[in-house]
Every structure is written in structure tokens, then in C-alpha cells.
Homo-oligomer: A and B are copies of this chain.
């Protein structure tokens, strides 16, 4: 088992031991017992977000600063990327300037392959989300939040609800959760489901799941997928009524069951407005845990 990898681009090939180690470090960062010592020499990290982000971006920023890194906020609009410079040449540049970690979000699936394969690029690549690929730091913070709540993954029942096929959260979470012993279910519009996911769990209508699962993990609905012909023109109200966590459905949840969402939430679409900050919601806690999960990730690529 390797505890440290040079890059952090995907969790899909992580062993349970590796994942549990990262989760342990994240918890230690959270409770202040990680024993991290601020670097004596300056370490530069750069954040490159080619897609809009509030949580992931600022969460990495806070994590980097808490670890004593010097942060470069790469301004995509004002860089040579606007004159057509490629991601490869951009990272080659930052690497030459002495940057040791690049956190990147890009709309391009698996954008990181050419970077980690390059012999000229030496900095660590941390994936902040790629196209409709992965979002491994989100996966880690989700696992951390579930583990914090229930201690263990085995015997847990977890529903992932929404646009399963297009989510970059659904696949990693389903895969990792089932590997760690949880039982995974999927729900949401059937058109948005992909039978590929059958290997990690079972699709069921939300009303068959809401009363029995321990975790209702709701996924963000992309606005652009609403009111289209392909999707039978259903509206936000329709979505909420048919697939969302309404107040009525939330009433049926088990006493200790929790609500999760990677955010930003479409209030009254994926879940009722009043549930976002309700006692069962762990949505704010997920955001808080994101900082510690990312500190664990940064530690792993820096060592």
C-alpha cells in the first residue's frame, strides 16, 4: 500500500486502505491533531479553475493557506490562455516558475493525463473536477461526512438521487461507497440513469427509498437540462414533485438519516428550501469538511 501518490486525479483505483488513511488524516486535520508543521521553505501552489466554482475553489484556497502554502490564483481570463495557450504549456510555465502543486478544474475529461505523462512537468496535479469525469476531492469529503456520522460504511444504505449519468460525483461516490461496504441505490429520472451504474447499486423510485436509507445524497440538476424536449419539458416544480426531497418525503426519513448535497443547491428543486439548513442536513458540514479533506489530499501529494 502506498499512502502517498505524486498526483491526486482520481479515486477510482484507490484501495480501501488508501481511502481510509486519507479520511483519518482529514479527521486529524479537523480536530487539530494532524501534527502538520508549516513548511520552512516557501511552497507555491496554483489554482486554475477553468469552470466556475465557489466551494471547491475557495475550499482548496483555505486548505492551502492552512498548510502554509503560498497560493497563486491563476486568472484564466487575464492569462495567455486567452490568446490560445494550451493547458499543457500553461502548466509547463507554472512548473518552471517553481510551482509545486497545481489544482485544476477543467471542462475537459481526463485533461490531466498529458500533464502527468509529461517528462518536463514535475509539479503535482490535483484534480478539482474534470468534464463529466471525476471530482475526487468531493468524493473524499462526502465519505468523510458519512464516516463522521455513522463511524462505519458497512451496513449503510445510501441513495444517490438525480442526474446520475451526467454527474461527476455519482460514479466515484457509488464506486467507493460500495467498495467500502455500503449498499448503494440510485434514483431520479430514469432517462438520466445509465445501466452502467448497475454494478454499484440498484435504481429505485425515490418513494421506495426515502423511508429506508441512512443517507439521501441529492445531486445538483443542471439548469440547462430543464424545459427541454428531450426531457419532456418538465419544469423545476415537476422535478421537485416527482424526484426531489419534498418536505413530505423528508418526514418519512429514518430518525438518524441525513441529507447530503454537493451544492450549489437549487432550492426547491433537488430539495425543499427549508431542508437545506434543517437538522437532518449535513450540507453545511460537507462544505466545512471539504477544507480538511483537501488538506489531507495536499499533504499526500506534497510528501
Contact residues of A with B, CB < 8 Å?
A: 42, 44, 46, 49, 52-55, 57-59, 61-62, 65-66, 70, 72-85, 89-90, 92-94, 96-99, 119-120, 223, 263-265, 277, 284-285, 287-288, 290-291
Complex interface: chain B residues within 8 A of A65 (CB)? 42, 44, 70
- Look across to chain B and name the residue whose beta carbon is closest to the beta carbon of A277: B120
Complex interface: chain B residues within 8 A of A291 (CB)? 97-98
Out of B57, B98, B264, name the residue touching A78 (CB < 8 Å). B57
Q: List 22 A-B contacts (CB under 8 A).
A: A42-B66, A44-B62, A44-B65, A46-B58, A53-B78, A53-B79, A54-B93, A57-B78, A57-B79, A58-B93, A61-B72, A62-B99, A75-B75, A76-B78, A77-B77, A77-B78, A83-B264, A89-B265, A92-B284, A97-B287, A97-B291, A119-B277
Is B66 touching A264 in the complex (CB atoms < 8 A)? no
- Look across to chain B and name the residue whose beta carbon is closest to the beta carbon of A55: B93
A288 touching B92 in the complex, CB below 8 Å, given contacts A42-B66, A73-B75: no
CA distance A93 to B283 in the complex (A): 10
Q: A44-B62, A55-B97, A96-B284 are in contact. List 12 more A-B contacts (CB 8 A).
A: A42-B65, A46-B58, A52-B77, A52-B82, A55-B93, A61-B72, A62-B97, A89-B265, A92-B277, A93-B263, A97-B287, A119-B277
Integer count of this chain's copies in the complex: 3
- Look across to chain B and name the residue whose beta carbon is closest to the beta carbon of A288: B96
Complex interface: chain B residues within 8 A of A284 (CB)? 92, 96, 120
CA distance A176 to B94 in the complex (A): 28
Complex interface: chain B residues within 8 A of A70 (CB)? 65
Out of B44, B62, B79, name the residue touching A98 (CB < 8 Å). B62
CA distance A297 to B49 in the complex (A): 31
CA distance A77 to B53 in the complex (A): 10
Complex interface: chain B residues within 8 A of A94 (CB)? 58
CA distance A58 to B72 in the complex (A): 8
Nearest Cβ distance between residue A114 and chain B, in whole angstroms? Answer: 13
CA distance A159 to B15 in the complex (A): 55
A83 touching B290 in the complex, CB below 8 Å, given contacts A54-B93, A78-B52: no
Is A264 touching B89 in the complex (CB atoms < 8 A)? yes
Is A83 touching B265 in the complex (CB atoms < 8 A)? no
Is A290 touching B57 in the complex (CB atoms < 8 A)? no
- Look across to chain B and name the residue whose beta carbon is closest to the beta carbon of A76: B78
Nearest Cβ distance between residue A101 and chain B, in whole angstroms? Answer: 14
